[in-house]
Amino acid sequence: MDLILKLIISIDNLDLRKTIIKWLYENDLIKKLLFIFKTNCLPQRHINAAQLICDIIKTTREHQSLLQDKVDSDLLLDSLESYD
């Protein structure tokens, strides 16, 4: 969880950040995180998945508000918002 969050928020280079987010999106990170809630696993896994989802939303929104017009939409956030 910490590694994924570091990959998303600690990269200052916009092109590299976009590439990492695209890679995470293509590897179905959001679907895999949400699938954890459908499984009967340890509560700590649910807590970690929920925390990572919240952190993705928070940091993506902060990043978008700082850069405003300079940033494209975020694939991970779009995936979360459109998930059925």
Q: What is the pLDDT of residue 50?
A: 94
Is the pLDDT assigned to residue 2 strictly greater than 80? yes
Per-residue pLDDT band at 10 (split at 50, 70, 90):
confident
Enumerate the domain spans of the chain. Answer: 2-82
User: Please, what is the angle between helix 43-67 and helix 75-82, to 10°?
Assistant: 120
Percent of the chain with pLDDT over 90: 39
